[in-house]
Amino acid sequence: MISQWQLRAAFAARLSDVYGREVPAYTTLVDVSREVNEDVLRAQGADAERLGSIGRVTAERHGAIRVGTPAELGQVARVFGALGMHPVGFYDLREAAAGAVPVVSTAFRPVDGEELARNPFRVFTSLLTPADPRFFDADLRARLENFLAGRELFPPELLALADRAEAERELPEEDAERFLQLAVSAFELSTEPIDRAWYETLEKVSAVAADIGGVRSTHINHLTPRVLDIDELYRRMTERGIEMIDTIQGPPNWKGPDILLRQTSFRALAEPRALRTPDGSVISGALRVRFGEVEARGIAVTREGRALHDRLLGRIDEHLALHPGAERGEVARALWEEHLPGTEQELAAQELAYFTYQVADRRPRDGSRPPATLGELLAQGWVQARPIVYEDFLPRSAAGIFQSNLSGEGSRDNDQEGTAHDAEWLSAAVDREVLDPFALYEQQQNRSLARVARELDLDGPLR
């Protein structure tokens, strides 16, 4: 029998092979990431593994896919459900982007600590919003919805196998093999000719809309390795002559603990795609929609920590608006140094970030009773804290990555009222609950605190 985590790991690895064949620069990115990670491990030893074992980090990838209808998203949820991945978080990129990115998104990922440690594969999944009048007028919306209703992204055999794997949490070897073949091929770039006129109609509104609704299949948009030093990676890729976008998105490089997520990307080359012209002939054209992305992950922050982070992002923007020549990284670093605690201990004490707590191996053994508060337990060496790694995404960075890789700006009419979509609406679309990332981190932290209280035989809860 092949268990869900084995299916997930195999799916991620096979998708990586396919994507590497389709987009050779991705292979370079993976190679350079591996080299950087090996160098960081050599230089820092055990500290390099504070946010995940080197085995996990080396294998770690996130993918990005885009679909057109709630029904398609519901099918995606079944395929990823088979792999033990659940929808987490709601991202409204229509609001996060200034340009035309008419999608709302979630991320499918494992949610419990053990499953994440086995293989943390996650997929950022975006759903087109044809009902939003800021992007689509009534006529285009109708044509788009009609086009989407007529396509099939996932064959019934795949969905049936997926449902079985989700219900039984494993598949017999032969069925697992069939499931993996069908699942991987559903995300390969199709060779079917694209209706050029239709594609261009959508492209005028948004390149993202064309990539989703202009073709009769879906494909992996990018696959992102995790790197332990993203500044070094950026330098090495640039040295190799690969043109990166001009910044690393997210928090700055600074001397304190890394929080959340830092990402950067490059635009992939134009890929040959078959196009059908209005007279019916098929020509060989080229589309530039896919890209290479890389990320460094930091500590998951609490709601308070996130509010502080978001305020600081606002301050960066204000500063750059007043001083257009300033360098973003430097502005951000100065703000981080002024406002964010410089140690993990302080992040924990101020409840700005999430940690798991364990009873220390070498706690006092002189028969003394443990103190009653978490602060004292930590200070006196009874308990150790380990940071919880951020497993999710950042809407601002996601929008930035989307936009920096689009060819045209597209168009949007901000005089129109946008259609309201929220986590609840998305839950109905995927037909399962879209989970709240903060609640997941908090549960993980609270469970570890309850275990500590039990093992040390403490009277009350620790927080």
The binding site for ligand OOG (CB under 6 A) comprises 64, 66, 124, 126, 221, 263, 293, 393, 397-398, 401-402
Q: Closest separation between CB of residue 45 and ligand OOG, Å?
A: 29
Instruction: Identify what 382 binds: Ni ion, ligand OOG, none; CB under 5 to 8 Å per kind.
Output: none
Residue 429 interaction partner, one of Ni ion, ligand OOG, none, beta carbon < 5-8 Å per kind: none
For position 293 contacting Ni ion by CB under 5 A, the verdict is: yes
* 229 sits near Ni ion (criterion: CB under 5 A): no
Q: Closest approach of Cβ 414 to ligand OOG, in Å?
A: 22
What phi and psi values does residue 35 have, to the nearest 5 degrees? -60, -45
- Of the pair 132, 295, the CB lying nearest ligand OOG is at 295
d(CA 225, CA 135): 32
Q: Of all helices (H) and strands (E), which one includes residue 57?
A: helix 54-59
Q: Smallest distance, Å, CB 222 to Ni ion?
A: 6
Q: Tell me the closest approach of the beta carbon of residue 363 to ligand OOG, in angstroms.
A: 41
**Assigned token pair, 218:** 């879906």
Nearer to ligand OOG, 263 or 448 (CB): 263
Partner interacting with residue 393 (select from Ni ion, ligand OOG, none; CB below 5-8 Å by kind): ligand OOG
Shortest Å distance, C-beta 319 to ligand OOG: 24
- Confirm if 76 and 87 have CB atoms less than 8 A apart: no
**Which one of 25, 64, 233, 352 is in contact with Ni ion (CB under 5 A)?**
64
Positive or negative torsion for Cα 267, 269, 275, 277: positive
397: partner contacted, choices ligand OOG, Ni ion, none (Cβ within 5-8 A by kind): ligand OOG
Q: With respect to Ni ion, which residue has the nearer C-beta, 72 or 293? A: 293
Of the pair 75, 126, the CB lying nearest Ni ion is at 126
* Cβ proximity to ligand OOG, 215 vs 401, nearer residue: 401
Half-sphere exposure of residue 352: CA atoms within 13 angstroms, side-chain side: 21
Nearest to 148 by CA among 195, 215, 205: 215
Q: Show the 3-state SS of 272-322.
A: EEEEECCCCCEEEEEECCCEEEEEEECECECHHHHHHHHHHHHHHHHHHHH
Q: Does 123 bind Ni ion (CB under 5 A)?
A: no
- Least separation in angstroms between residue 263's CB and ligand OOG is 6
To the nearest 10 degrees (0 to 180), the angle between helices 156-168 and 70-82 is 50
Instruction: Compute and round to an integer the Cα radius of gyration of the chain.
Output: 23
Least CB distance to ligand OOG at residue 47 (A)? 26
CB of 236 to ligand OOG, least distance (A): 20
Residues 243 and 269: their CA atoms lie apart, in Å, by 11
Q: Which residue's Cβ lies closest to ligand OOG?
A: 398
In total, the chain counts a number of residues equal to 463
Nearer to ligand OOG, 398 or 429 (CB): 398
In sequence order, what are the beta bridge partners of 417?
none
- Return the one option of Ni ion, ligand OOG, none that residue 392 interacts with (CB less than 5 to 8 A, by type): none
126 binds, among ligand OOG, Ni ion, none (CB under 5 to 8 A by kind): ligand OOG
3-state secondary structure of 366: coil
Rounded to the nearest whole angstrom, what is the least distance from the CB of residue 263 to Ni ion in the complex? 7
Task: Return d(Cα 122, Cα 394) in angstroms, integer.
Answer: 14
Q: What is the DSSP letter of 46?
A: G
Token digits of residue 197: 């006129």
Among the residue ranges 100-108, 115-123, 138-146, 220-228, the one whose residues contact Ni ion (CB under 5 A): 220-228
113-116 CB contacts, 8 Å cutoff, 24+ apart: 113/356, 113/444, 115/5, 115/84, 116/391
The nearest distance, CB 76 to ligand OOG, in angstroms, is: 13
Q: Of 1-9, 103-111, 292-300, 301-309, which segment contacts Ni ion by CB under 5 A?
A: 292-300
In the structure encoding, which two tokens stand for residue 23, read together?
């987009």
CA dihedral (444, 449, 450, 455) in degrees, to 10, reads: 130
Stretch that binds Ni ion, among 106-114, 223-231, 284-292, 414-422 (CB under 5 A): 223-231
State how far the alpha carbon of 305 is from the alpha carbons of 240, 313, 436, in Å: 37, 12, 16
- Comparing CB distances to Ni ion, the nearer of 64 and 348 is 64
Q: Is the CB of 374 or the CB of 435 nearer to ligand OOG?
A: 435
Output 196 or 267, the one with its CB closest to ligand OOG: 267
State the pairing for strand pair 222-225/61-67: antiparallel
Q: If contact means CB under 5 to 8 A according to the sort of partner, which of ligand OOG, Ni ion, none does residue 402 touch?
A: ligand OOG
Q: Which chain residues interact with Ni ion by CB under 5 A?
A: 64, 224, 293
